[in-house]
Structure 1
Amino acid sequence: MSSSPPLDCGSGGGDTAFKGLRIASLFIIWASSSFAATFPIVAHRSRVINLPLAVFETAKYFGSGVIIATGFIHLLAPGISELTSPCLGAAWQGYPYALALALLSSFSIFIVEVIAFRIGTAKLKKLGIQHDPHGHAVGAYTAHGPEADFLPDPASGDHGHSDLEKAGKGSGADHSSDSKQELLLTDEEAMAQLIGVAILEFGVILHSVLIGLTLAVDASFKVLFVVIVFHQMFEGLGVGTRLANLILPSKYHYVPYVGSFLYGITTPIGIAVGLGIRTTYNPGSTQATLVSGILDSLSAGILLYTGFVELLAHEFLFSPEMREASLGKLLYALACMMLGLALMALLGKWA
């Protein structure tokens, strides 16, 4: 005869203590997350807040480490634990479903990007623009980074200078937001950037809703609350820096703010939903464990693909600027990345 499942596998309900503080956490996390995700955008565009470029680069590399650690420690590890839970029965124990789902989401994103790039490149070619998605030839402008490389079509006879170089000459050494936007030639390139950041946001948002639900009903509320505040601020800094570095036509100027708003509001939405169903929602129940495990695993694949391919590969391997940088600059960038990775991994001890 099979043993009965653990008590927390039933429907039950979550912890109802600290109701007032849990409600307050909704607004505290909303404010802190929104600030972390929005400040880099405002600072990047503001003529009043004149932060050095080094500050943005530090935040960018730090954020890359945060995103990768989130994928491994805060998503994949819980996904494995949840999808091997005794609550799910023996059928879930015989195969690494969490890893398979992460693999599935990673390659799904890859295939989507392959298709998108083929369509975009074909359209650019019709316009006489040859696009180098890795930025091998000119500058440190990559398709998924702050800007993009545009190479002259050999058939056009313009072999001496790229469109990017000519645009740069027209704007001098000014690296302001307005002058950078002039380098973007087509809506196709704008969409390539938007797809990249949307993929990142999608994985982060799924995760944020889940941790909001957990915070609303978890018995270890006090420790979890403090950890999640830092967690969301670090992650928000990484997302906000990516949004700030988007170079888009003026008609898309609102997109980074929409992204930061969505990031800031998702965890509070999760908390609000959790508070609303706290008497019936048990995060350890069979249904909640299954849903959380699947979403965590899928999100892990998204963030790991984004972190390694879109962020690290393009910032270190495919960036001519970084390949030609001094050893000191390279070591500093790596140190920033490792610091973000280490701090986010450490937070995984508590949440």
Structure 2
Amino acid sequence: MMGALLPLLSRRVPALQPDTKPFVLIKAFASGVILATGYMHVLPDSFDCLTSKCLPEKPWSKFPFTTFIAMFSAVFTLMVDSYAMSWYKKCKTPDKNQDQELKTLGHSHGHGSCGNDNPASQLRRYRVVAQVLELGIVVHSVVIRLSMGASDNVCTIRPLVAALCFHQFFEGIGLGGCILQADYEKKMKAIMVFFFSVTTPFGIALGICLSNVYRENSPTALVVVGILNAVSAGLLNYMALVDLLASDFMAEKLQNDMKLQTISYVAVVLGAGGMSVMAIWA
């Protein structure tokens, strides 16, 4: 919860407003963490599940289901992204107050060459990104915590908890930054932070409740968890690369400031590198 709340509370801190350099660097670091979560944690877990020796050789060993599912998950996320933007344009027209509030953010977040400075269009974009990113985080969080809750191996759980706290915190910062830029009302912000916060205890509690019947190496569990992880990996990788990193690095703020752009790349590498190192334990 703290990770998601920090960016929202930062509105009261001038140095951490969305148009400031510290905000850009923190968001870049968090984006690197999310990217590494997809590639270094969720995707390998899916490979392990769907290529397990506990599954029948046919068809699971004859076709790369993990990358196939992740690929189409990314395409499906693009479709959701695109259709959601079209729907918002037709059905959701921000009022003048929302436009004025967005202008005060002063943070260009357009997709590369689109160069759309329309505040209403930016606001719609922020909201789509926040909603789709939360969906991906919630899905993979529940799956991972389910396995952790069902595990009775203390030696495995202890390092796993530390690694999960690290990536959950910075995923929260990334999501919180998107929610902040989406300029939602307080009620909607509270709802999104609440759902992000309860996924971990819910997944663990569900795993504990199912510990007597849930078997990690059962064919059904391996297939279900493997598919969900592959879907989550495709979604997280798309969101990290397209909606978070590409949109920020191709925006005017970073394009016009080479020094800030370079430092932001360092922040991305540090975030992705730190999360990758965590793969040793989790």
- TM-score over 0.5 for the alignment? yes
Q: Which residue of 1 aligns with 2:99?
A: none
Q: Which residue of 2 aligns with 1:194?
A: 127
Distance 2:111 2:131 in 1: 11
Q: Which residue of 1 aligns with 2:206?
A: 273
1:316 CA drift (Å): 0.9
1:140 CA drift (Å): 4.9
Q: Which residue of 1 aligns with 2:222?
A: 289
> For residues 43 and 144 of structure 1, do their structure 2 counterparts lie closer, same or farther at Cα, with a shift above 3 Å needed?
farther
> For residues 244 and 122 of structure 1, do their structure 2 counterparts lie closer, same or farther at Cα, with a shift above 3 Å needed?
closer
Q: Which residue of 2 aligns with 1:298?
A: 231
Distance 2:111 2:137 in 1: 17
* Structure with the higher fraction of residues in helix conformation: 2
Q: Which residue of 1 aligns with 2:253?
A: 321
Distance 1:221 1:342 in 2: 22
1:71 equivalent in alignment to 2:7 = no
Distance 1:42 1:262 in 2: 18
> For residues 143 and 233 of structure 1, do their structure 2 counterparts lie closer, same or farther at Cα, with a shift above 3 Å needed?
same
1:101 equivalent in alignment to 2:63 = no
Q: Secondary structure at the match of 1:88?
A: coil
1:239 equivalent in alignment to 2:239 = no
1:230 equivalent in alignment to 2:163 = no
Distance 1:268 1:119 in 2: 33
Select the residue among 239, 263, 278 that pairs with 1:332: 263
Aligned-residue Cα RMSD (Å) equals 2.6
> For residues 124 and 290 of structure 1, do their structure 2 counterparts lie closer, same or farther at Cα, with a shift above 3 Å needed?
closer
Q: Secondary structure at the match of 2:235?
A: helix
TM-score w.r.t. the length of structure 2 is 0.84
Q: Deviations over 1:161-203 (max 9, x none)?
A: xxxxxxxxxxxxxxxxxxxxxxx54xx7654432221111111
Q: Deviations over 1:280-332 (max 9, x none)?
A: 21222221111110000001111111111111111112x1121111x321111
Q: Deviations over 1:242-299 (max 9, x none)?
A: 2222234xxx333233222211110110111111121221222221111110000001
Q: Does the CA-based 8 Å contact 2:116-2:122 persist in structure 1?
A: no
Distance 1:309 1:265 in 2: 27
Q: Does the CA-based 8 Å contact 1:143-1:193 persist in structure 2?
A: no
Distance 1:93 1:216 in 2: 29
Q: Does the CA-based 8 Å contact 1:246-1:256 persist in structure 2?
A: no
Q: Does the CA-based 8 Å contact 2:27-2:177 persist in structure 1?
A: yes
Percent of residue pairs identical: 29
Gaps of 5+ in 1: 1-33, 126-138, 152-183
Q: Deviations over 1:187-241 (max 9, x none)?
A: x765443222111111111111112112213212222222222221222222222
Distance 1:124 1:236 in 2: 26
1:1-351 matched pairs, under 5 angstroms: 34-44=1-11, 46=12, 49-52=13-16, 53-90=20-57, 91-120=59-88, 140-143=107-110, 149-151=116-118, 184-185=119-120, 190-218=123-151, 219=153, 220-248=156-184, 252-317=185-250, 319-325=251-257, 327-351=258-282
Distance 1:253 1:349 in 2: 39
Distance 1:264 1:124 in 2: 28
Distance 1:140 1:226 in 2: 34
Distance 1:202 1:256 in 2: 15
Gaps of 5+ in 2: 94-105
Distance 2:21 2:256 in 1: 17
Q: Does the CA-based 8 Å contact 2:21-2:260 persist in structure 1?
A: no
Question: Counterpart of 1:338 in structure 2: which amino acid?
Answer: V
Distance 2:222 2:92 in 1: 46
Q: Count matched residues.
A: 262
TM-score w.r.t. the length of structure 1 is 0.68
Q: Secondary structure at the match of 2:54?
A: helix
> For residues 117 and 222 of structure 1, do their structure 2 counterparts lie closer, same or farther at Cα, with a shift above 3 Å needed?
closer
Distance 1:74 1:258 in 2: 27
Q: Secondary structure at the match of 1:281?
A: coil
